[in-house]
Chain A
Amino acid sequence: MTTDAVSPGFMASGGKSWVREWLFTLDHKRIGMLYLWCITAFFAVGVLLGLVIRMELFWPGKDFIGQQAYNAIFTMHGVIMIFIVVIPSIPAAFGNLFLPLQLGAEDVAFPRLNTFSFWLYAIGGATALISLFTGGGAPDTGWTFYVPFSAATTTNVSVAVAAVFILGFSSILTGLNFIVTIHRLRAPGLTWTRLTLFAWALYATAWIQVLATPILSITVLLIVVERVLGLGIFDPARGGDPILYQHLFWIYSHPAVYIMILPAMGVISDIIPVFCRKSIFGYKTIVGSSLAIAFAGSLVWAHHMFVSGMSDTAVMVFSFLTFIVAVPSAVKVFNWLSTMYKGSIRLEPPLIYALGFIFLFAMGGITGLVLGSAGTDMHVHDTYFVVGHFHYVIFGGTGFGMFAAIHYWFPKMYGRMYNRKQAIAAALILVVGLNGLYFPMYLLGLEGMPRRYYDYLPQFTSLHQLSTYGSWITFVGLALMLWNLIRSRYRGEPVGRNPWKAATLEWTLPSPPPTHNFDTEPVVTHGPYDFSQVRDDDGA
């Protein structure tokens, strides 16, 4: 272990107070770091809540927490993980850090708006935590806040949905900022077809953020209106309709799934060529599939409602549209595999995480088709099958995309390298742990175990216990990964500009990058995956 000095770059103190330097910063890189740290902290809270859920489900009946506490814990696990961790994870943290660098820009289009987005995020996160400890107790509705229960329960739902509203606003403004940044701030020569696939993924994501999130905003606002002012928008006794809530909620929240997964796909598309020393296979089809997922993914919300009482025609249409989304997703997977074919593969940690992503995401994606087919969905609707599917996609997909991004860009962020063996070990432990944690849920669901239940029949015990063991293995993997990264941030081996010998613009800068990104505006002459011009002395 060396402890050589690394130039602090944009992390250097400017002599002002910490609060002024960081909370009022206009530097996109610092804002990205703030997001990354906050997201990591909230992720830790969400993981602990998840562990508590799994512990409680170790035996049937009460193990150590009561029913109300159990409901509150799975609600907060969902709210924290979805709205505070997964949705902002890659776009807000790594998008802010690296999008302007990949574009050769000085900053995002609206730096002050960017700071404001972060403040909204911080305030929203704090509000969510406040909802835990104030009012009539932590919300117990599940993260979907379904009416009529959310309108009637005495727990602190109003504060929690206010938090969601604020977080949604933050998400909209980040998306807006990225769209304008990509349109307006590309370096000379950086044509649309020379954009990195990460930037393209962020672009598609940003449009979903901008177009879908307002619907969620109005929906949660209506819950507050219903609770506080007594308006009956969703109450049938007063002319409302609870099914309309589900429609409005999923019109946002299904596209939100693609806010979560598309940036992760972008990260994977950037990583695979670098570690295979080959240009990406089918650049334009990957771009097209990102846009197609963003578009088609916005049309499938009602597949969450096959059993809510829709017409058979509607069920068939939404089932069909759901199948359509599988096509561009599969296109991406085939493109990644084709890129690896006959590539000069280096099994570095970012690639291991990327491969973990492909495997786990495929596990989740294929079971998505089981849920998307109306017939099979009737059988497994609202069972653990859904929980398993969802966690494979979100933890195995977005989570692994996030981990891949951290391991890929870590040397760029801190100028140091982590212990590669430990990173690989953590990745493998995580793959084992996640399969142990979530695969039993598929079986539980097929056997009829409903989701969200506090208690269960004795015949489900062994599968629940298997899943709980898996959660412990997952925890070990996460702890090892985090420990490796935190220690390496201070004591890792210093690296040069371009340890992976990648060809995108951020690797032409020192690690960590200076406050003013580029001394002279770069002129781009080739695509992001053209490795012929990468020099050997750029490396560590």
Chain B
Amino acid sequence: MTEHRDYQGAKMGMWIFLFTEILLFGGLFVLYSVTLGRYPTEFHEASKLLDVTMGTTNTVVLITSSLFAALSVVGLQRGNPRAAKGFILLTLGLACCFLVIKYFEWSHKIHAGLYPGGETLVQWEPGRQAFFSLYYTMTGLHGLHVIIGMGVFLWVWTRIAAGTCTPAHFVALENAGLYWHLVDLIWIYLFPLYYLIT
């Protein structure tokens, strides 16, 4: 059987998959908006407890990583696998950076008892508890997607190194890039909803 290659088909499949990811988060965005509608003041107060500097830094980090991801695709398209691999490593580096910042943010909150069932949080009114429940769920799920995206990029990196993802057949890298942009995009929505609504 000759190997079936269908560039447009592969990209179409990826786009449909990205739709499903948006819908996955869409369920959470629905929950967020309903809960925000119910507890506007509590959300406003709880949001003040989040560290805007760290959130902003992470936004910049992730957008920059998305730029590197795009550059790696361009690099491969222009026939330069070395550049592509280099930009993938830069993307991965910034992704690590994002997770480290997230780790500091979370651990700081958790030390302060601001986690589900934590000593501070349980004493608060339901609205603020709901804010943090959603905060941990949505940023947690997003963090999971960052980790999955890193795995995908590592895999593509090995495929470029092995010569199976080439300037002539770069759809694997392009799809990884699309996925990364989605992860970035979701964060761009999460950031104002949690950090900037005060």
- On chain A, the residues within 8 Å of B131 by CB distance are 239
Contacts of B28 in A (CB 8 A): 218
Partner of A229, one of B13, B19, B116, B129: B116
Task: For the complex, give the distance between the alpha carbons of A257 and B38 in Å.
Answer: 32
Chain B residues lying within 8 Å of A215, measured Cβ to Cβ, are 23-24, 26-27
Bound together, the chains give a CA A221 to CA B136 distance in angstroms of 13
Residue B133 at the A interface, CB < 8 A? yes
B126 lies within 8 A of A237 (CB): yes
- Tell me how far the C-beta of B137 lies from the nearest C-beta in chain A, rounded to whole angstroms: 6
- Chain B residues in 8 Å Cβ range of A230: 116-117
Residue B30 CB within 8 A of the other chain: yes
Stretch from A59-67, A177-185, A390-398 at the B interface: A177-185
Query: CB-CB < 8 A to B21: which residues of A?
Result: 214
- B126 neighbours in A (Cβ, 8 Å): 232, 236-240
B10-52 interface mask toward A, CB cutoff 8 Å, 1 = contact, 0 = none?
1011001101110111111011001100110010000000000
The residue from B8, B26, B130, B141 contacting A240, defined by CB atoms under 8 A apart: B130
Does residue A219 face the partner (Cβ distance < 8 Å to B)? yes
Known interface pairs A210-B16, A219-B27, A248-B27; A232-B137 also in contact (CB < 8 Å): no
Closest partner residue, chain A, to B128 (CB atom): A239
Compute how far the CA of A329 lies from the CA of B23 in the bound complex, rounded to whole angstroms: 27
**Nearest opposing residue in chain B for A240, CB measure:** B130
CB pair A180–B27 under 8 Å, yes or no, is: no
Residue of A nearest to B2 (CB): A106
Interface of A, helix, strand, loop or mixed by DSSP: helix
Is A244 close to B, CB under 8 A? yes
C-alpha gap A110/B6 in the complex (Å): 10
- Asked whether any CB of chain B lies closer than 8 Å to the CB of A241, the reply is yes
What is the minimal beta-carbon distance from A357 to any residue of chain B, in angstroms? 30
Closest residue of A by beta carbon distance from B136: A231
B30 contacts across to A, CB distance below 8 A: 244, 247-248
Separation of A241 and B187 alpha carbons in the complex (Å): 25
**B168 within 8 Å of A (CB atoms):** no
Q: CB distance B12 to A183 under 8 Å?
A: yes
State A176–B17 Cα separation when bound (angstroms): 7
Question: Inside 8 A of A176's CB, which chain B residues have their CB?
Answer: 13, 16-17, 20
B134 sits at the interface (CB 8 A): yes
Bound CA–CA A232/B4 (angstroms): 48
Asked if B24 contacts A217 (CB within 8 A), the reply is yes
B1 engages A232 (CB within 8 Å): no
What's the nearest-Cβ distance from chain A to residue B151, in Å? 15
CA distance in complex: A258, B134 (Å)? 31
Nearest A-chain residue to B16, judged by Cβ: A176
- Write the nearest CB–CB distance from B80 to chain A, whole angstroms: 28
A487 within 8 A of partner (CB): no
Q: Judging by beta carbons under 8 Å apart, are B130 and A109 in contact?
A: no
A233 close to B137 (CB less than 8 A): yes
CA A177 to CA B27, docked complex, whole Å: 23
Q: How far is the CB of A297 from chain B (nearest CB, A)?
A: 16
Q: Which residue of A lies closest to B13 (CB)?
A: A180
List, in ascending order, chain B residues with CB within 8 A of A246's CB: none
Q: Which residues of B contact A237 (CB under 8 A)?
A: 126
Contact of A184 among B8, B25, B116, B125 (CB under 8 A): B8
In the complex the two chains form, what is the Cα distance from A251 to B24 in whole Å? 12
Q: Kindly state the separation between the CA atoms of A239 and B38 in the bound complex, as whole angstroms.
A: 9
Task: State whether the Cβ of B149 lies closer than 8 Å to any Cβ in chain A.
Answer: no
Residues of A201-250 contacting chain B, CB below 8 A: 210-211, 213-215, 217-219, 221-222, 225, 229-233, 236-241, 244, 247-248
Complex CA–CA separation, A476 to B31 (angstroms): 48
| Bound-state Cα–Cα, A244 to B136, Å | 18
Contact of B129 among A210, A232, A241 (CB under 8 A): A232
With A215-B26, A230-B117, A516-B1 given, is the CB distance from A238 to B130 under 8 Å?
yes
A87 on the B face (CB < 8 A): no
Binding site for B on A (CB under 8 A): 106-107, 109-111, 113, 172, 176-177, 179-180, 183-185, 210-211, 213-215, 217-219, 221-222, 225, 229-233, 236-241, 244, 247-248, 251, 516
Chain B interface (Cβ < 8 Å from any Cβ of A): 1, 4, 6, 8-10, 12-13, 16-17, 19-21, 23-28, 30-31, 34-35, 38-39, 42, 116-117, 125-131, 133-134, 136-137, 141
Interchain residue pairs with CB less than 8 A apart (20)? A109-B9, A176-B20, A180-B9, A210-B20, A211-B19, A211-B23, A213-B20, A214-B23, A215-B24, A215-B27, A225-B137, A231-B133, A232-B126, A232-B133, A233-B137, A239-B39, A239-B128, A239-B131, A241-B34, A248-B31
Closest 8 interchain pairs by CB?
Answer: A239-B130, A239-B126, A218-B27, A214-B23, A184-B9, A214-B24, A231-B133, A230-B117
